[in-house]
Amino acid sequence: MTRPLKVPAKAGYHHANLRRALLDAAINHLRDAPVATLTVKQLARDAKVSPGAPYHHFKDRQELLAALATEGFERWIASASTVAAAPETPSNKLANLARAWLAFAAEHTPHYRVMFLSELADRQRFATMHAAAAQALELLVGVLREAMPDAADGRRAERAVIAWSTLHGFASLRMNGVLGNIPGVPELEALEDAAAASMARLVLDAADS
């Protein structure tokens, strides 16, 4: 159970655990507001500390966002591991994993908002975050490995990226409100099922091609 990345020593201080309080304030804010509106100063106000206090826990605003993203990847890995370890057929497992991803994006919108931010693309500066992201992909590849054991490694990785793209693309479009009430488009729930089903097909096709 790897939940928080690092609990600072023994928790207590003036403000018990400011680092966590800031992250929680950020999560709360991002529930229904885009990342651009998130302000370090406001987080400090929420936590009832001075405007400079956050900078003792995060080098700058980007590192705070990166910490939140890392937490998001870790939580996803934790819940996805459960799905991956379930006694199911590889095909069902894959569909469940797809549904789990979309559910995660819906329930943890605040985290999801920062998990693929182009401001955090720097691999060296945000190494720990990218390590967690790579682990998340690795988990997806692992399930695909089970589902199509006869395919070549390259093809498996290729399918993993395509599948990831579908899930992320759908979650992203939905989160950004692009899919809202487009005439003729089915309910979003049905779309979740369709996305999951298309992932399963993605793998079945690979076995015999």
117 part of the interface to DNA, by CB under 7 A: no
| Residues whose CB is less than 8 angstroms from the CB of residue 48 and which lie 6 or more positions away in sequence, other chains included | 15
Q: Is 191 in the site for a second copy (CB under 8 A)?
A: yes
**Which structure tokens are listed for 103?**
């559910």
Judged by CB, which is closer to a second copy: 19, or 130?
130
DSSP of 119-156, one letter per residue? GG--TTTTHHHHHHHHHHHHHHHHHHHHH-TTS-HHHH
CB nearer to DNA: give 53 or 204.
Answer: 53
CB of 180 to DNA, least distance (A): 24
Measured between alpha carbons, how far is 98 from 198 in angstroms, rounded to an integer? Answer: 10
Of residues 83-122, which lie at the interface with a second copy (CB under 8 A)?
113, 116-119, 121
Tokens 């690979």 map to which residue? 206
**Which pairs from 144-151 meet CB under 8 Å and 24+ separation?**
144/94, 144/203, 146/90, 146/93, 147/90, 147/91, 147/93, 147/94, 147/203, 148/203, 148/206, 148/207, 150/207, 151/206, 151/207
Residue 18: name its binding partner from DNA, a second copy, none (Cβ under 5 to 8 Å by kind). Answer: DNA
Query: Under the criterion CB under 7 A, does residue 14 sit at the interface with DNA?
Result: yes
In the complex with DNA, the residue whose CB is nearer, 56 or 201, is: 56
- By CB under 8 A, the residues from 161 to 190 that bind a second copy are 161-162, 164-170, 172-173, 175-180, 182, 184-186, 190
Q: Which tokens go with 122?
A: 């720097």
By CB under 8 A, the residues from 4 to 63 that bind a second copy are: 34-37
Residue 157 Cβ vs a second copy, minimum distance, rounded to whole Å: 5
- CA-based nearest residue to 26, from 8, 11, 38, 41: 38
Where in 25-54 is the site for DNA (CB under 7 A)?
38-42, 48-53
Radius of gyration for the chain, computed over Cα atoms and rounded to the nearest angstrom: 19
Q: Which residues bind a second copy (CB under 8 A)?
A: 34-37, 113, 116-119, 121, 123, 133-134, 137, 141, 153-154, 157-162, 164-170, 172-173, 175-180, 182, 184-186, 190-191, 194-195, 198, 201-202, 205
Q: Which residues bind DNA (CB under 7 A)?
A: 8-10, 12-15, 18, 38-42, 48-53, 55-57, 59-62
